[in-house]
Structure 1
Amino acid sequence: MKQSSQQSQGLLLFKLTLQQTFALGTLKVREIIPYQHLTILPQSHPYVIGSTPFRGKTIPIIDMASAVGYRSIQKEEYKKCFIIVTDCQRQLVGFMVRKIDRIMECNWRNIHPAPTAVGRSAYVLGVTEFDNQMVQLIDIEMLLSHIYPTSEDHLHANIDATDRARLREHRILVVDDSSVARRQLSEALEYVNVPFEVCADGSTALDMMLKSTATDNSIDILVSDIEMPGLDGYELAFEVRSHPNIAKSYIILHTSLSSEISVDRAHQVGANEALTKFDAAELIQGMLRGANHIENGTVSPGVSGR
C-alpha cells in the first residue's frame, strides 16, 4: 500500500457571476470546450438550454448559473462562454459557465463545509480560499438530482429473507457529504429493512469507527463517498487500513465519479470496491459480498473481483 493517501486532484475554478468564484473537482471534469452551437431539446428541463455533439455523442448543456440560482446566461453572452463537460453519475453532461479561471492544486483537507452565511446557494458542498477570495465547491449531485431525478428502479433493490438476515448481522456505516446522496442511501437501505448508521464527513466516520471497537461492536461495512471536504473517501479508506483495530472492515467507495481513475485509486488506498452512484441493487450486492468476506475472515485491501 502507498505510504500516502493524498489524492492527485485539483479544483477547476470558474465564474457564474462577475464576482464569485466556484469550483469543481478535476476528477469530475472530462473536458473544457468553448461555446459551440446548441440544438434546442423540446420539452427539456428549463435549465437545459440545448444539446451539442461531443466526441461522437450528443450531450445536454445546462446553464449552471441559472440552475444554482443566479442570473441566467443570456444568448448574447453565449459566444464568450465555456462548457465544462463532466463525467458524473453515469452520464456525460455539459455545464455552461461565464468564464474559466484556472486549475489549482488543492489539499482537500483545506476545503471546509459551507458556512450558513452562504445562504441561498444550497448547491455548495464546501469552501476554500484562493488569492484571498472565497471559492465555493459546487454540489453536482444535488444539481443533477433536481434536473434528472434518480428513478425508483435505481433507488430500490429486492433481496430475499436470507440475504436480509445476513446484512442485519453486520454493523453498516454510510458516509457522504451530499444531502441528496445520504437520502438515496437511506432510502435504499430502509427499503430492504437493513439497519445502518450515517454521517456527513470522513473525520466523523473515522472517529465513529475507532470508538466502535471500544464497545466490541465494530463497524463491519463502510460505504463512503470519495469527494468530501476535509477527510475525503480515499484518505478515510487509507486511515481505516492504517489502524489495526478497524483495518478488517470491508470498504466500499461509492462515488459519482465514472472514470476508471476512481477504481485504480480505490485499490491503492486499500478499498475493497469502488461503485458508481446510484444503483441500489449494485450497492446491496456489494454489501453482501462484504458480509461474505467478513464472515469468512477474508477481507483484504484492493478492489474486489466480481
Structure 2
Amino acid sequence: MSDHEALLKELLATFAIEAQEHLDALSSHLLALEREEEEAGRQRLLEGVFRRVHTLKGAAHAVNLADVAHDCQELEEVLAEIKRGEAEFGVEIFDLLHREINRLSARIFPAGAPTAAPGAAQQGASQTAPHSPLPTAPTPPVIAVTTAQAPTPAQPRHAAPIHGADETVRVSARLLETLLLHSEELVSAKLAASVLQEELSTLVGEVAERGAERDRALAAARRAVKKGTGGEASLAGLLEQGCLHERTVEGRLRLLEKSAEKHTRSLQALVDPLLEEMKKLQLLPCSSILDPFAKLVRDLTRELGKEADFSLSGGELEFDRRILAELKEPLLHLVRNTVDHGIELPQAREAAGKPRRGTVSVEVRLQDANRAELILADDGCGIDLEQVKRSALRRELATEETLARMPDAEALQFIFESGLSTSGTISSISGRGVGLAIVRETLERLGGHVSVTSMPGTGTTFRLVFPLSFARMRALLVQVAGRDCAIPAAVVELSARVPLSEVKRVENRDTVVAAGEVLPLVSLAGILETGRRSIEPDVTVSYVILRAADRRIAFAVDQVLGVQEILVKPLGRQLSRVRNVAGATVLGSGRVVPVLNVADLFRSALGGGAAVASLPLANTPARQARVSVLVAEDSITSRTLLKNILEASGFLVRTAVDGADAMAQLKTDPCDVVVSDIEMPRMDGFELTRSIRADAKLASLPVILVTGLESRTDRERGIDVGASAYLVKSSFDQTNLIEVIQKLT
C-alpha cells in the first residue's frame, strides 16, 4: 500500500467517526425541532441542524466524497428555504428532512457498516441505492477517553496547561477491550496469590503446633548426649540437629508468610484500582443506545399510520459498553413489537377514550450494586392472553389442562418462546415470533432475565434485569455430588440447612418452608445429572434459595463453600451452548469450576419431573409385614378406586367414610399410613390431620392428603396442619401415590 493510499484510508476512518457523530446529532435535533413549539427555540435548533450539515459537507469534500457532499448541499438548500420563511414547518417538511438524513446515512454507511440509528439505515437503503464511498470493511469503533477533569471557566485562556486540564483522546474500542481483558486476567493471579498465602499460613501453623513437642524432644536429646555413650549419643546428636534444623525452617517459613502476605496485599492494592479504572474506560451512558430509538419510533409510527411519542428516563446512567452492545438487538425487537402490536391506530385510540398519540417510555434504574433494570412500557391495547394461550396450545408448549390451571402472569411468559406469535400477519416489522425469543436468550446469556405484565386496553410493560459487570462477579461456591459449582451471587437469596424430617411432599414434590413460604426443594445433582448420593434419614439437607424473575426455588446441595469473586470465561466454540451451564471460572487453586445458568436451572427444575428433582433417599430395609393403609374418602367411587390401586400394589388397605370415622378406627386399630381426602362431612382432611398430630400415640403417623383443592393457600394449610404429603387429583398419578407411601413408610 502506498503512502497516499494509507493516508486516504486513515482519513476515511476519521471521517466515518465524525460523520457518525453528526448523523446522530442531526437525528436528535430534528426530533427536538419537531416537538419544539416556541419560535425562538425552533430557530435555535434549525441553526444547529444547518451548521451540522454544513460541517459534514466540508468534511466530505476533504476526503473526496463528492456524492456525500452533493447530498449535504441539497439538504442545505432545503434548510435555507426554511430559514428564509419560504417553507413552513409541518409533517411533510419533517418527513422530507428525516428521509434526507436516512439517505445520507445509507450513502456513508452501506450495508455492514455502522449506522446512525437502529432501523434508520434500512429505511434509507430502501429509498435510494447508495454508492459505497467508504471502505467495505468497517474500521474499528473508537471511544473518546477523558483523561482529566474540565478546567473552571474562570481559568485564563493563555494560562499554561495544568494537571487537571480537560483532554480527550480517541482510542480504538478493540484496544480498550483487549486491555480490559488482560486486566481482568489479573483477578486469577490475585486469587492464586491468596491461595498460596493461605496454604503457606496453614503450613506455618502446622509446624508451629509441633513447637512444644520439638522442645521436649530437643531437651531429651541433650540429656541423652550428656549421659549416653557410643551409638546412643550419636543418635541423640542427630535428633538434636534435626530439631534445630526444624526450628530454623519454621523461622524461614514465618518470614516467607509475612512476605507473601505483604505481596498479596500489594497485588490486591494494585489490581483492584486498575480494574476499576479500566472498567470506567468501558463505561458509556445508556442513552448512547437508547436515544436513537426516538427516531425509530417516529419512523415506524409514520410507516404504520400511527402516532406515538418516545420518552427516556435514566439515560445518564453508565454501563459497560459490552453489555450495552448486547442489549441493543433485544431492545430493537421490543420497541418494534411495542409499536406494531401495542400502539393502536389514532382512530381506535380515540374510540377507546385515549389520546390520539400513544406513549412508549423507557426507564433505566439501578436495582442494587450488581444489577440494573430497564422498564419498557406503552399505553397501548395490551397483549391478548387468550391468543397467547391458543398459540401455546397450537405449538404444544402446554396442554389444555395445564393452561387452565396456570396463572395468567405465568401464561403471559409464553410470548418469549421461539416461534410463538399473536400476530395474524407477517410483515417486515414483526409477526414471526422470533424477536422476543431473542430478547430472553440474550438476557439469560448476560445472566439476567426478562418478564412482562399486561392489562387489556391499558398497556404492556417489559422488565429487563441485567448485571452491571460483564465478566467479573461474586459467586456462591457450592459442592454438588462431590464437585464444585459456582452460582451468581446476585440471584442467591439465602442458604440454610434443615433436618430431612422437615422436608415435606406436596403434589409429589419435595418442599421446604423458608421465611414462612412453602418452596419446592430440588436436587441440584439430579438437575445437573452428576450422579446423586443417597441421603440418610437422620442427616440434614443443605440448600440455597435462588430467584429468577418472580420465581423462587430451593436447590439441595452437598455443602455451601462460601462466596468469592470470580472471572467468568466462555465455554468456547466447541461448547457454545451447554444446558444449565453459563460458563466456567478458574479458582485460585487452578481448578476449573462451571458457572451455572440460573434460567436453565429453573426450566430444568420445573420441567424435569419429580423423578429428577426429588431428593435421593437412602434405601431402608424391606419390611417383613405388609404396609397397612387407611383410606379416608366420603365418595364411594373414589374410595373403591384408591382401595383397588393400593391393594394391587401389595398394601393392606381398609377404608373410612370420613375423618371422624378414620379417627375412631385409628384409636382402636392403628395403621402405617393414612391417605385422606380433604372435603368430607363431620371432619375434613385438615381437621383429621390436626387431630392425628395432637394425639401423642399417633403424632408420627404419616398422612397423605389427596384432594382437588390445588390453590397455594390450601397447600400451605396442609403443610401447616402437619400433612406429610399433598397430592392434587387433577394431576394424580397412581405411581406417584405408591412412591410417596413407600418413601414415608
Greater strand proportion: 1
Greater helix proportion: 2
- Give the TM-score, by structure 2 length: 0.17
- Give the TM-score, by structure 1 length: 0.40
**Higher Cα radius of gyration:** 2
